[in-house]
C-alpha cells in the first residue's frame, strides 16, 4: 500500500546531542523520499531529500540514510539545538508527483 | 513577503454552509498542491495542479470538494455543505516541476465546523 509510517511518535534529546528520527515505508516502488519539519502553527518546511539510487545524503547538520533492503529511512540531526524542536515527517513519491506524508515524530530538546 | 499565502487563516462555520479558501503560490512556481491536516497526523494529499490543469484528485475527496486554478496562478478550494468531519487545517503548497519534493507550504487555513 501507500503506507509511510514512523517507529516512534515522540523523541526527547539532550541539547547538543545527535538526534535520529526513523521512518519505515512499505511500498517498494517508492523512488524519492523527503524529510519535512513542521513547527507549531506553521506549514511543513523542506529539510532534505534523497532518491532511491542513493543510500546517503548530507546537508547542513542533517544526514538522510536510506536502506532499501529493509525499506527504512532515517534523519540524523547533529548537535541538536532548541530550534530543532518540531514535528518531523518523512514523505515519499513513486514516480508521480503526489507526495505522501507519514504521521510524524515530535522532537523535544531537553536543556 | 514572497512566500505562499493562504486566506483566511481561520474559518468557523456552521454545518451545511459552504466555505472557500484561497491560496496564492510563489509567483514563479507552476505546481500547486492542496493538503489537509488533522491534529497529530501528517498532511493528507487532496489535489494538485500544474499551471491551470488539475492533474490528480484524491479518492478521499468527496464531490463536496472542488478546487480551481483558473489562470495558473492563485487557487481556490471550496467545500460545499460542510460537515463536522471537514474540520482540519487546509494547507497549500507550491513548487517548480523538476524540484518535485521541495514543496513550499503556506501557514494553512484552519476550518472549524460547528
Q: Which residues contact A61 (CB under 8 A, 6 or more apart)?
A: A77, A78, A79
B82-106 residue pLDDT tens: 999 999 999 999 998 765 678 999 9
Q: Does A3 touch chain B (CB under 8 A)?
A: no
Beta-carbon-side half-sphere exposure of residue B58 (alpha carbons within 13 Å): 19
Cβ within 8 Å, pair B42-A102: yes
At A95, list the grid cell. Answer: 514516480
Cβ within 8 Å, pair A43-B108: yes
Closest CA to B107 of B13, B30, B1: B1
What beta strand segments (E) does B19-87 contain? 19-24, 31-37, 44-50, 53-57, 65-68, 75-79
Cβ within 8 Å, pair B101-A100: no
d(Cα A18, Cα A107) in Å, to the nearest integer? 12
Cβ within 8 Å, pair B101-A42: no
Q: Does B31 touch chain A (CB under 8 A)?
A: yes
Q: Does B60 touch chain A (CB under 8 A)?
A: no
B25-60 residue pLDDT tens: 999 899 999 999 998 889 999 999 999 999 888 887
Q: Does B41 touch chain A (CB under 8 A)?
A: yes
Contact by Cβ (8 Å): B11, B110: yes
Q: Which residues contact B55 (CB under 8 A, 6 or more apart)?
A: A97, B48, B49
Using alpha carbons only, give the angle A75, A111, A91 rounded to the nearest 5 degrees: 20
Bridge partners (DSSP) listed for residue B23: B6, B75
B60-87 residue pLDDT tens: 778 999 999 998 899 999 999 999 999 9
Whether B111 has a pLDDT exceeding 80, the answer reads yes
pLDDT of residue B66: 95
Whether A1 has a pLDDT exceeding 60, the answer reads no
Amino acid at each position: 500500500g501507500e503506507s509511510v509510517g514512523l517507529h516512534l511518535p515522540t523523541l526527547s534529546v539532550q541539547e547538543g546531542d545527535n538526534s535520529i528520527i526513523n521512518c519505515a515505508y512499505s511500498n517498494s516502488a517508492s523512488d524519492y523520499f523527503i524529510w519535512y519539519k513542521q513547527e507549531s502553527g506553521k506549514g511543513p518546511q523542506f529539510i532534505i531529500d534523497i532518491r532511491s539510487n542513493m543510500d546517503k545524503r548530507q546537508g547542513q547538520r542533517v544526514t538522510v540514510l536510506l536502506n532499501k533492503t529493509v525499506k527504512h529511512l532515517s534523519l540524523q540531526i547533529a548537535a541538536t539545538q532548541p530550534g530543532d524542536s518540531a514535528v518531523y515527517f518523512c514523505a515519499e513519491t513513486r514516480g508521480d508527483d503526489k507526495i505522501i506524508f507519514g504521521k510524524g515524530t515530535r522532537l523535544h530538546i531537553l536543556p | 513577503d514572497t512566500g505562499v499565502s493562504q486566506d483566511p487563516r481561520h474559518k468557523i462555520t456552521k454545518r451545511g454552509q459552504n466555505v472557500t479558501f484561497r491560496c496564492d503560490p510563489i509567483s514563479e512556481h507552476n505546481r500547486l498542491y492542496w493538503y489537509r491536516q488533522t491534529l497529530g497526523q501528517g498532511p493528507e494529499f487532496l489535489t494538485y495542479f500544474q499551471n491551470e490543469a488539475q492533474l490528480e484528485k484524491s479518492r478521499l475527496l468527496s464531490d463536496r470538494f472542488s478546487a480551481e486554478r483558473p489562470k495558473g496562478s492563485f487557487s481556490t478550494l471550496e467545500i460545499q455543505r460542510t460537515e463536522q468531519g471537514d474540520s482540519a487545517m487546509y494547507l497549500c503548497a507550491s513548487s517548480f516541476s523538476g524540484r518535485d519534493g521541495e514543496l513550499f507550504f503556506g501557514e494553512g487555513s484552519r476550518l472549524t465546523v460547528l
